């Protein structure tokens, strides 16, 4: 190649021009330039004001470009003004639970390429109501906290500087409030306020793929036929033209993961001025590769281009395309691509400590990574539409999603049975937005029409007529997407075999049902009840053999700083304190063991993957947090229950010693637990071999391991894995102090440390003043606390163990001991109404009448016994003669 002198002399300049051009294209985005559509994120430079604007400012003033907002807070979007949820027994000092109006204002410059084009403002979400003005002109109004909406700003935008004003309202639903009829009107989660997802400015041509289709992409594809030879995909494109009528070309193409075009079509069409046109086409893909969940989440890319008469691309939309079929069978469960697959999943809320709902892409990525580490293959997006980046991650990783409408607890406003028309309209509109915005994600397997829509509370029946609303919503879902199954999360319906008591039944309003059941947590509050979960599901299956069913929620609270020596030691405080980490772990062990064999279920979802905010709760070691997460709110700590599921579900080798956060032990004799997917594991203590333990159902146990006084190093090995923890015991060698009927121990101000109830067989634990609160009730009338008269240490009489016959077998060195039994009668007030015997090891039975000894009911009394420990155990046998035996605390000290 030859060049003239002038050209050669200008080569450095030409190279700089080319380099600059490449840089400009890189900054603007090559696909956006080619498509004639650009999107600019409006993240920085916002001003925010919480509440009504002070002074004499009118609505016109606040929304005008001349309003002085210099004193407002500078924020970046995504943003929420609310902050709550902390690990302490009092609410954080910087908490903000304000619900009401927040104002946002932004000055921005219109991009230079917008002349003669359409300009849209896109809000990925605004909670709960948003009103939008541009340069003082009202653009629109949106209701619903969880879905994207777009507004046409073309007639209001101007060249150069513009002022955007947004009023956001997350007021609590109440009679006459702005949000009275906007679903959800109830829920055990906090409704953060703000522009908590991104805001962007979209510029496109007058003729374009519809941006006003309920926040959806305007392009919708579904698989109509699929086998190893061929996949047939139907594509619907919605087009909008605000320019001159004319002829256009619609180009539709599919590329594989390597970018190779595998299918395509071109159609000529005519768009009228000011008209909307729906256009369908069908594509055929040879030798398709299926999107097959975690095993092979293969994605194609669907591209739709609108091309003008001159061959220029006017608009372009890219969407994911996964080739798969889904079905739900009442006997086989979930079916992906013709193969049965039990969905082992977790529930996920979209919040995070110190951020609320204003999450970043990195936050979504971390959540997905933790869920995948756990070994789950499904996520229920509870209880509302969540951010698109999480759907994208599910598509790419193969995570199967349950997408849910934000209709929670109530199908009507309180005190009214029938759904108000405004509330029905809100639910239907949000369901359409949910489906259109997420239609193309292959990870979405089911659409949920609601969660726990019932008329039941701990105070009894309340008016409800939910089925008409749910039937209508199911019809909307089927109209929008005939291919995917629908589901509903069901709570509090009549149990299998129980008589009908008039409760509103929502089962059957959707294609499938998933029951929210918390055996071992709510109800009786006994951990062992968790083992009943599988039998209850079998009962529902027998009663509804043609309905596919699963478990939408199950689980228990767990506080990483609260621990117990025996999970059966007392009644669980399911909505208060304490909530021992060990209790949570065992509830999950028993629950999953009972569910795993049920091959008719289509799925089971743990409640929940992460601790999440709820201003209804004061639980465990936290305030404003629902503690049922397998991981803490800040994503820092994986609780023991996390490791149980990792051992039970994941394919990587797992070995995890539990109880590592309960370092300073109350007793020197303990059971050591580990989770492993190895068949067995070996334990050593301070270098001494303890032995091998089998690990059935991923749980390994070494019974009655004796700690040395001081520091103890425990090392477990198995399946090629090793785990270590360090525990300590600094208490007495020949004394035990037991707080009976309680899940937590205590340290007296004057006296010894008491461990939680342990070393017992039989009986039940009870609490003197259980926490009195209904989760959703307001203006509750709490009973005054009961007081035990004459109790020097009231904490010793705050709980008790009772039963017709129970025994304590306390591990102690052989020898003689003095036993002091603390007791009172919480029920009887007259002598002779409760009489029992206590037989100490090596002694004779002692007859006890607590009321006679104390001189009345609710009065403290102690009984002293002499006992002997033989072969390392001191026994105390309680047997009722009249009524049940009872004891509140036990002291055993050497004679």
Any idea which residues carry the catalytic annotation?
452
Tokens found for residue 135: 């340069």
The full length of the chain comes to 895
Question: How far, in Å, CA of 770 to CA of 578, rounded?
Answer: 11
Question: How far, in Å, CA of 496 to CA of 537, rounded?
Answer: 8
- 145 neighbors 127 (Cβ within 8 angstroms): yes
Question: How far, in Å, CA of 300 to CA of 319, rounded?
Answer: 9
User: Which residue in the block uniquely carries the two structure tokens 């019809």?
Assistant: 475
Q: Is the peptide bond before 78 cis (omega within 30 degrees of 0)?
A: yes
DSSP 825: -
Q: How many other C-beta atoms can be found within 10 angstroms of the C-beta atom of residue 362? A: 9
Question: How far, in Å, CA of 210 to CA of 202, rounded?
Answer: 12
Q: Which of 240, 222, 235 is nearest to 306 (CA)?
A: 240
Handedness of CA 350, 352, 358, 362 (dihedral sign): negative
In the three-class reduction of DSSP (H, G, I as helix; E, B as strand; rest coil), residue 404 is classed as strand
841 Cβ contact list (under 8 Å, min separation 6): 867, 868, 869, 870, 873, 874, 875, 876
Q: How far is CA 199 from CA 78, 106, 149, 171, 195, in A?
A: 8, 11, 10, 22, 8
Tokens found for residue 557: 């609270």
Q: Are strands 149-152 and 118-123 parallel, antiparallel or unpaired?
A: antiparallel
Beta strand extents in 707-841 (DSSP E only):
710-718, 721-729, 736-739, 746-747, 753-756, 760-761, 764-767, 799-803, 805-811, 815-823, 835-840
Q: How far is CA 845 from CA 339, 767, 809, in A?
A: 64, 27, 16
- 522 neighbors 504 (Cβ within 8 angstroms): no
Handedness of CA 608, 611, 617, 619 (dihedral sign): positive
Q: How far is CA 850 from CA 794, 797, 821, in A?
A: 17, 13, 11
User: Which residue in the block uniquely carries the two structure tokens 């294609």?
Assistant: 511
Q: Are strands 603-606 and 343-348 parallel, antiparallel or unpaired?
A: parallel
DSSP 356: B
Q: Which residues, in sequence order, are bridge partners of residue 6?
A: none
User: Which residue in the block uniquely carries the two structure tokens 């369908």?
Assistant: 280
Which stretch of DSSP H or E encloses residue 292? strand 291-292
Question: How far, in Å, CA of 706 to CA of 685, rounded?
Answer: 9
64-76 b/e with 16+ CB inside 10 Å = b?
bbebebeebeebe
Question: How far, in Å, CA of 547 to CA of 282, rounded?
Answer: 33
- 126 neighbors 170 (Cβ within 8 angstroms): no
Q: How many other C-beta atoms can be found within 10 angstroms of the C-beta atom of residue 663? A: 13
> Could you report how far apart the first and last alpha carbons of the chain are, in Å?
108
Q: How far is CA 73 from CA 47, 103, 106, 139, 686, in A?
A: 5, 10, 12, 24, 58
User: Which residue in the block uniquely carries the two structure tokens 């030879």?
Assistant: 229
């Amino acid at each position: 190649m030859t060049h003239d002198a002038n050209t050669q002399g200008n080569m450095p300049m030409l190279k700089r021009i080319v380099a600059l051009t490449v840089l400009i294209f890189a900054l603007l985005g090559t696909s956006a330039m080619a498509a004639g559509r650009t999107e600019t994120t409006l993240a920085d430079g916002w001003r925010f004001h919480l509440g009504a604007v002070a002074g004499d400012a009118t609505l016109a003033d606040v929304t005008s470009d001349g309003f002085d907002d210099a004193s407002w807070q500078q924020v970046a979007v995504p943003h929420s003004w609310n902050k709550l949820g902390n690990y302490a027994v009092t609410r954080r000092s910087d908490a903000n639970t304000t619900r009401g109006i927040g104002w946002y204002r932004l000055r921005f410059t219109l991009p230079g390429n917008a002349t003669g084009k359409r300009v849209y403002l896109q809000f990925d979400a605004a909670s709960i109501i948003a009103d939008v003005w541009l340069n003082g002109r009202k653009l629109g109004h949106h209701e619903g906290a969880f879905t994207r909406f777009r507004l046409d700003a073309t007639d209001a935008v101007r060249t150069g500087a513009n002022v955007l004003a947004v009023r956001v309202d997350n007021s609590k639903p109440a009679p006459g409030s702005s949000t009275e009829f906007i679903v959800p009107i109830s829920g055990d989660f906090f409704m953060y306020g703000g522009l908590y997802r991104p805001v962007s400015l979209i510029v496109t041509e007058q003729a374009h793929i519809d941006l006003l289709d309920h926040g959806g992409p305007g392009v919708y594809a579904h698989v109509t036929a699929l086998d190893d030879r061929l996949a047939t995909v139907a594509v619907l494109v919605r087009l909008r033209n605000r320019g001159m009528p004319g002829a256009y070309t619609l180009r539709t193409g599919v590329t594989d993961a390597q970018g190779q075009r595998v299918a395509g079509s071109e159609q000529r069409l005519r768009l009228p001025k000011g008209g909307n046109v729906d256009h369908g086409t069908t594509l055929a893909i040879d030798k398709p590769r299926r999107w097959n969940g975690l095993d092979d989440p293969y994605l194609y890319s669907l591209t739709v281009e609108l091309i003008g008469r001159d061959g220029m691309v006017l608009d372009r939309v890219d969407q994911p395309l996964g080739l798969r079929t889904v079905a739900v069978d009442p006997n086989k469960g979930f079916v992906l691509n013709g193969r049965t697959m039990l969905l082992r999943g977790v529930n996920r809320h979209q919040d995070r400590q110190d951020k609320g709902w204003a999450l970043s892409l990195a936050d979504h990525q971390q959540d997905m990574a933790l869920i995948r580490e756990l070994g789950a293959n499904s996520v229920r997006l509870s209880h509302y539409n969540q951010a698109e980046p999480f759907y994208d991650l599910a598509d790419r990783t193969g995570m199967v999603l349950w997408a849910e409408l934000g209709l929670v607890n109530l199908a009507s406003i309180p005190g009214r049975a029938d759904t108000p028309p405004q509330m029905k309209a809100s639910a239907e509109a949000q369901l359409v937005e949910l489906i259109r915005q997420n239609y193309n994600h292959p990870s979405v397997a089911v659409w949920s029409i609601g969660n726990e829509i019932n008329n039941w509370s701990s105070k009894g029946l309340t008016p409800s007529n939910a089925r008409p609303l749910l039937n209508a919503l199911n019809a909307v879902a089927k109209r929008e997407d005939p291919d995917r199954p629908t589901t509903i999360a069901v709570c509090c319906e009549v149990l299998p075999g129980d008589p009908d008591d008039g409760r509103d039944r929502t089962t059957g309003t959707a294609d499938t049902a998933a029951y929210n059941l918390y055996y071992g947590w709510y109800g009786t509050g006994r951990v062992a009840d968790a083992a009943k979960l599988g039998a209850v599901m079998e009962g529902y299956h027998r009663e509804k053999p043609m309905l596919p069913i699963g478990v939408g929620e199950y689980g228990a609270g767990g506080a990483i700083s609260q621990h117990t020596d025996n999970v059966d030691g007392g009644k669980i405080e399911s909505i208060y304190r304490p909530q021992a980490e060990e209790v949570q772990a065992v509830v999950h062990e028993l629950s999953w063991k009972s569910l795993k064999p049920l091959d008719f279920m289509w799925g089971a979802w743990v409640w929940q993957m992460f601790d999440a905010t709820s201003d209804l709760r004061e639980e465990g070691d936290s305030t404003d947090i629902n503690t049922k997460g397998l991981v803490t709110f800040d994503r820092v700590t994986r609780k023991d229950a996390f490791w149980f599921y990792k051992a039970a579900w994941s394919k990587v080798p797992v070995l995890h010693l539990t109880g590592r956060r309960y370092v300073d032990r109350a007793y020197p004799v303990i059971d050591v637990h580990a989770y492993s997917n190895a068949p067995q594991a070996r334990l050593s203590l301070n270098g001494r071999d303890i032995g091998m333990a089998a690990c059935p159902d991923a749980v390994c146990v070494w019974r009655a391991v004796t700690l040395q006084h001081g520091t103890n190093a425990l090392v477990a090995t198995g399946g090629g894995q090793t785990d270590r923890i360090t525990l300590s015991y600094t208490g007495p060698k020949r004394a035990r102090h037991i707080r009976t009927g309680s899940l937590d121990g205590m340290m007296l101000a004057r006296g010894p440390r008491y461990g939680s109830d342990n070393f017992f067989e039989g009986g039940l634990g009870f609490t003197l003043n259980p926490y009195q609160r209904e989760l959703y009730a307001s203006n509750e009338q709490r009973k005054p606390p009961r007081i035990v008269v004459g109790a020097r240490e009231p904490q010793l009489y705050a709980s008790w163990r009772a039963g017709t016959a129970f025994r304590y077998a306390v591990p102690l060195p052989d020898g003689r001991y003095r036993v002091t039994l603390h007791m009172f009668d919480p029920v009887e007030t007259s002598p002779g109404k409760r009489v029992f015997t206590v037989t100490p090891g090596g002694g004779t039975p002692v007859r006890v009448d607590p009321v006679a000894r104390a001189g009345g009911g609710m009065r403290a009394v102690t009984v002293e016994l002499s006992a002997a420990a033989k072969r390392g155990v001191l026994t105390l046998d309680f047997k009722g003669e009249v009524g049940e035996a009872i004891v509140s605390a036990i002291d055993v000290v050497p004679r």
